[in-house]
Amino acid sequence: MGIVDINKVTYEYIRRDEEGNVEGITTAVNGVTLSVKAGEFIAILGHNGSGKSTLAKHINALLVPEEGTVFVDGMDTKDDEKTLSIRQTAGMVFQNPDNQIIGQVVEEDVGFGPENMGVPTKEIWERVEESLRTVGMYEYRKKSPNKLSGGQKQRVSIASVIAMHPKCIVLDEPTAMLDPKGRREVIRAARALNDVENITIILITHYMEEAIYADRIFVMEEGSVVMQGSPESIFSQVERLKSYRLDVPEVTELAWELKKAGVPIKFPILTRKELTEELIRLGRR
């Protein structure tokens, strides 16, 4: 059994008109089965409205499946008594950096989770220091969150989750509202957590470049998982990805075009470094 076990989960949003009559039903998640092992780095890709965020909220027990089951570290999310331990085990970072920081000072925000868990005061301070250092935001601990950049705010949000000592962190499009620099900062922090602290990371994104470091990728479309596998195997299916209105990383696309034009290039290629090396090798021949 993995750290997160999602089994045939279905979730529907019901739209109602003003009198409360059902107007229509949107099936956001449709029979998804997915299992994540402890220590893995998972990326979930999908176009807007593919159900990836709805799925993410199931892992944190913010939503409870209508059909199917979600187990987090062996705990059923339907069990009300387990809700708090589930949320502590699987932390969550959201998209909008402004709307998830509660404290008026960085350190107070990081302390919010441990406070809710009833951690003793002295230990809260230790946890706050340790998690702010992990994301490299320790020197900003006395600042107001309003004065930080988007990337810094998201790193504070990540620190706030780490302070709860989770085994798994779900990042729900953490970079969607950031500039390229902020995006790099956040992804670097997430990868470091996975490498150094061995925390399971579930990254939900629609930036392909962020997914290439994942151990496994899941592609979602209209509420279902339509592709899964290693980054190499996913990104080698360029045409299939495009049919789901998803792009491949720029580098991969270039290599693919070259290959189509008859250049004997290795495929797939995911990173810029790989591409450069391959082009040099081809040039030498």
Partner 1 sequence: MLRDITLGQYYQTESKLHELDPRTKLVGTFVYLISLFVFTNAYVYIFAASFLLLCVLISHIPPTYMIKGMKPIIFLLVFTMVLNMLVTPGEVILTLWKLTITKEGVKQALYMGARLTLLVMGSNMMTLTTTPTRLTNGLERLMAPLKLIKVPVHEIAMMMSIALRFIPILMDETDRIMKAQLARGADFESGNLIKKAKSLVPVLVPLFISAFRRANDLAMAMEARCYHGGKGRTQMKPLKYRPRDFVAYLILILYLAGIILIGRYL
Determine, following the binding rule CB under 8 A, whether residue 131 of this chain makes contact with partner 1: no
Number of residues engaging partner 1 in binding (CB under 8 A):
40
Closer residue to partner 1, CB minimum distance, 56 or 275: 56
Q: Which of 226, 212, 210 is nearest to 176 (CA)?
A: 210
- Paired tokens of 191: 């990868």
225 binds partner 1 (CB under 8 A): no
Q: Is 160 in the site for partner 1 (CB under 8 A)?
A: yes
Edge-first strand listing for the sheet containing 67-72: 22-36, 4-16, 67-72, 75-76
231 counts as binding partner 1 under rule CB under 8 A? no
Stretch of 6-14, 142-150, 208-216, 264-272 lying at the interface with partner 1 (CB under 8 A)? 142-150
CB of 56 to partner 1, least distance (A): 10
Does residue 283 touch partner 1 according to CB under 8 A? no
Please state the three-class secondary structure of 247-283 as a single string: CCCHHHHHHHHHHHCCCCCCCCCCCHHHHHHHHHHHH
Secondary structure (3-state) at 191: helix
Q: Is 55 in the site for partner 1 (CB under 8 A)?
A: no
Please name the residues in contact with 22: beta carbons below 8 A apart, sequence gap of 6 or more.
14, 15, 16
Report the alpha-carbon distance of residue 52 to residue 44 in Å, rounded. Answer: 7
Q: Is 135 helix (H, G, I), strand (E, B) or coil?
A: coil
> Can residue 112 be called a binding residue for partner 1 (CB under 8 A)?
yes
Q: Is 197 in the site for partner 1 (CB under 8 A)?
A: no
Q: Is position 164 an interface residue for partner 1 (rule: CB under 8 A)?
A: yes
Nearest-angstrom CA–CA distance, 131 and 164 = 9
Minimum distance of partner 1 from residue 10's CB (angstroms): 21
3-class SS at 137? coil
In the three-class reduction of DSSP (H, G, I as helix; E, B as strand; rest coil), residue 24 is classed as: strand
Tell me: does residue 125 bind partner 1 (CB under 8 A).
Answer: yes
Question: Residue 122 or residue 284: which is nearer to partner 1 going by CB?
Answer: 122
Q: Assess 268 for contact with partner 1 (CB under 8 A).
A: no
Q: Which of 99, 261, 262, 284: binder of partner 1 (CB under 8 A)?
A: 99
Interface with partner 1, residue 92, by CB under 8 A: yes
Near partner 1 by CB under 8 A: residue from 96, 224, 237, 271? 96
Tokens of 78: 């339907």
Query: Is there binding between residue 91 and partner 1 (CB under 8 A)?
Result: yes
Minimum CB–partner distance for residue 37 and partner 1 (Å): 23
- CA dist., res. 164 & res. 186, Å (int): 19
Q: Which of residues 57-76 bind partner 1 (CB under 8 A)?
A: 57, 60, 62
User: Which of 193, 152, 151, 188 shows the shortest CA–CA distance to 169?
Assistant: 193
- If one asks whether residue 50 binds partner 1 (CB under 8 A), the answer comes out as no
Kindly list the residues in this chain that would bind partner 1 in the complex (CB under 8 A): 57, 60, 62, 84, 87-88, 91-92, 94, 96, 98-105, 107-108, 111-121, 124-125, 128, 145-147, 160-161, 164
